[in-house]
């Protein structure tokens, strides 16, 4: 039963009925006149580019790749994919030093964590910011996320790895660059939550940055290499050992599941279903009755959930929201889903800063007016943007759950 309403072949752009719905939900088109908009850049442009590649317009670089056009499209046109694929195929602009620096999150992170006090200090210094702004065209309003003094991986191997063998269930954790270099605490929270419900955590055989920043900065060959390496590791875990891969970052997970095959041509069909998001994984365990959670009585907070673009695209906000609603002491406000404007490295570029802030403006105002204890989101770059643009601190739902968890009681509930 069921099937085949929509075509996902190379002809997908033809499903566009020119209804213009996508243009309503494009966060960029309304504020950036240079951007031709999703309809023109996507299905309409694709038709012209098939006639003559010269119809490629470099202004497609202003697309945030938020995929909100795709979510809105009543006809399942992969508008965002069409635009990004066109950039990859036709753009003649070569990435510069800035793009290399912004895109290579793991190399930068590797260097930075080693010298983190120096780097954190210097990235915050005015002269350094001036250089970044003036020479590198990285906007001076931006504060780079601080680098941790100890990588998550190092902590895990030193502190947590040995004790994981006691659990009969397993997950492979794709920690991503952010947890590894900037915010190991989220990784620790993940380990805390998973082990509490009886799931041991292991690292992937090898892990590289998912490549999202490489893709958006035009470093496609490198992105593809990293994608292949990651999929190889994932395959070892999912296909060979039967252990699901779980990531905390919605963007990493989305990139590995969907951008790998759609934009990089890296086939992941055999393991795609085995790549999961932390909140989805955890909530599905609870929903299916496989595990139970117990929360502290004294945990009382007002949280506002922000749906990151890639969460919206994956349609998975329901899991994070449902998971947060499990916590009795949480008052949860779900913010209307909208783009915060950062889009990974996009908002760090000097030329995009005003666009980036204009896009997020109404979101920031809503957050300030609501004044919750925390904004909660599954995406680390949304966290940076909201923290840079509002006075409200931002946490990942897994951190909230880890904080709220009555660990002993939970362990007890899940011991059979």
Partner 1 sequence: MNINSESQFDAIIIGGGATGAGTARDCAMRGLKVLLVERSDFASGATGRNHGLLHSGARYAVTDHESASECIKENMILRRVARHCVEENDGLFITLPEDDLAYQAKFVESCRAAGINADIIDPAEAKRMEPSVNPTLIGAVRVPDGSVDPFRLTTANVIDAKIHGAVVLTHHEVVGFIIEQNRMTGVKLYDYGTKQTKEYRSKLVINAAGIWGHHIAELAGVKVNMFPAKGALMVFGHRVNNMVINRCRKPANADILVPGDTICVIGTTSSRVPFEECDNMYVTREEVDLLLKEGEKLAPALASTRILRAYAGVRPLVASDSDPSGRSISRGIVLLDHETRDGLAGFITITGGKLMTYRLMAEWAADLACKKLGVNEKCRTADVPLPGSREEDKAPSKKVYDMSATATKAAEGRHGFMTEKIKAESLSDKAVVCECEEVSVAEVDYAINDLHVDNLVNLRRRTRVGMGTCQGELCACRAAGRLAKASKCAQRAQDDLTHFLNERWKGMYPVAWGHTLSEIQFTSWIYEGVYGLSASDNK
Partner 2 sequence: MKFDTIIIGGGLSGLACGIKLAESGKRCAIISTGQSALHFCSGSFDFLGYVNGFDVETPASTLEKVIPQGHPYALMGAKRAVEVAAVVPEFFARMGVKVNGSIERNHYRITPLGIMKPTWLSLDDFTVIADKNKLPWAKVSIQNIEGFLDFHTAFIADNFEKMGTTCTITAFNLPELKHLRTNPTEMRSANLAKTFENVDVVKRAAELINRNAGDAEAVVLPAVFGLFDDKAVQELKRAVKLPVCFVPVIPPSVPGIRTQIMMRRRFQELGGTYLLGDTVNDAVVADGVVKSVKTANLGDTVLEADNFVLATGSFFSHGLVAHPDKVVEPLFGVDVKADADRDNWYNSSLFEEQPYMSYGVIVDDSFRTATGGNTISNLYAAGAVLSSFNPIKEASGAGVSLITALHVADLIINKK
State the residues that interact with partner 1 by CB under 8 A.
7, 9-11, 13-20, 36, 39-40, 43-48, 50-52, 54-55, 57, 75
Q: How far is the CB of 244 from partner 2 (least distance, A)?
A: 11
**Cα–Cα distance list, 145 to 114, 179, 284, 350, 385 (Å):** 15, 11, 31, 17, 10
Residues 343-362 that bind partner 2 (CB under 8 A): 362
Position among 313, 349, 383, 395 found at the interface with partner 2 (CB under 8 A): 313
Strand partners, 277: 247
Residue 58, interface with partner 2 (CB under 8 A)? no
Nearer to partner 2, 39 or 142 (CB): 39
- Round to whole Å and give the CA distance between 162 and 57: 53
Residue 223, interface with partner 2 (CB under 8 A)? no
- Round to whole Å and give the CA distance between 236 and 238: 6
Binding partner of 45, given partner 1, partner 2, none, CB within 5-8 angstroms per partner class: partner 1
Residue 142, interface with partner 2 (CB under 8 A)? no
Token pair for 53: 């590649």
Nearer to partner 2, 232 or 365 (CB): 365
Position among 16, 29, 245, 394 found at the interface with partner 2 (CB under 8 A): 29
Position among 10, 24, 93, 124 found at the interface with partner 2 (CB under 8 A): 24
- Which residues touch 129 (CB under 8 Å, ≥6 apart)? 123, 140
Is residue 251 within 8 A of residue 290, CB to CB? The reply is: no
Q: How far is the CB of 224 from partner 2 (least distance, A)?
A: 25
Residue 334, interface with partner 2 (CB under 8 A)? yes
Binding partner of 316, given partner 1, partner 2, none, CB within 5-8 angstroms per partner class: partner 2
Nearer to partner 1, 7 or 122 (CB): 7
Binding partner of 51, given partner 2, partner 1, none, CB within 5-8 angstroms per partner class: partner 1
Is residue 415 within 8 A of residue 198, CB to CB? The reply is: yes
Binding partner of 61, given partner 1, partner 2, none, CB within 5-8 angstroms per partner class: none
Q: Which stretch binds partner 2 (CB under 8 A): 66-74, 102-110, 344-352, 381-389?
A: 66-74
- Round to whole Å and give the CA distance between 398 and 282: 9
Q: How far is the CB of 75 from partner 1 (least distance, A)?
A: 8
Kindly give the pairing relationship between strand 245-247 and strand 275-277. parallel
Residues near partner 2 (CB under 8 A) are 1-6, 17, 19-21, 23-25, 29-37, 39-40, 70-76, 273, 284, 287, 312-316, 318, 322, 334, 336, 362
């Amino acid at each position: 039963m069921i099937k085949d309403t929509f075509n996902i072949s190379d002809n997908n752009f033809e499903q566009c009925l020119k209804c213009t719905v996508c243009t309503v939900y494009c966060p960029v088109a309304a504020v950036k006149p240079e951007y031709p908009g999703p309809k023109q850049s996507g299905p309409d442009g694709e038709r012209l580019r098939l006639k003559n590649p010269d119809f490629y317009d470099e202004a497609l670089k202003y697309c945030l790749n938020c995929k909100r056009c795709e979510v809105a499209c009543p006809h399942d046109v992969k508008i965002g994919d069409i635009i990004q694929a066109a950039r990859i195929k036709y753009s003649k602009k070569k990435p510069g030093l800035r793009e290399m620096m912004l895109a290579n999150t793991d190399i930068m992170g590797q260097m930075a964590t080693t010298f983190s006090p120096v780097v954190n200090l210097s990235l915050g210094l005015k002269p350094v910011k001036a250089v970044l702004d003036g020479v590198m065209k990285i906007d001076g309003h931006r504060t780079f996320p601080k680098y941790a003094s100890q990588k998550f991986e190092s902590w895990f191997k030193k502190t947590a790895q040995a004790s994981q063998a006691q659990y009969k269930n397993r997950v492979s954790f794709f920690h991503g660059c952010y947890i590894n270099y900037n915010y190991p605490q989220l990784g620790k929270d993940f380990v805390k939550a998973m082990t509490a419900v009886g799931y041991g955590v292991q690292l992937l055989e090898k892990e590289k940055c998912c490549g999202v920043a490489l893709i958006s900065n035009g470093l496609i060959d490198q992105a593809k290499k990293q994608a292949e390496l990651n999929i190889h590791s994932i395959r070892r875990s999912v296909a060979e050992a039967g252990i699901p891969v779980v990531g905390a970052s919605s963007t990493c997970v989305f990139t590995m599941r969907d951008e790998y095959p759609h934009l990089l041509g890296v086939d992941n069909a055999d393991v795609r279903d085995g790549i999961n998001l932390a909140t989805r994984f955890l909530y599905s365990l609870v929903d299916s009755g496989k595990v139970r959670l117990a929360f502290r009585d004294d945990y009382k907070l007002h949280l506002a959930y922000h749906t990151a673009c890639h969460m919206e695209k994956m349609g998975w906000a329901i899991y994070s929201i449902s998971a947060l609603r499990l916590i009795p002491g949480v008052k949860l406000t779900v913010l209307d889903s909208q783009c915060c404007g950062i889009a990974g490295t996009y908002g760090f570029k000097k030329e995009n800063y005003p666009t980036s802030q204009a896009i997020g403006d109404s979101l920031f105002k809503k957050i300030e007016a609501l004044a919750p204890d925390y904004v909660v989101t599954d995406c680390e770059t949304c966290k940076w943007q909201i923290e840079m643009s509002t006075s409200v601190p931002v946490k990942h739902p897994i951190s909230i759950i880890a904080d709220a968890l009555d660990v002993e009681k939970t362990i007890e509930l899940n011991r059979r």
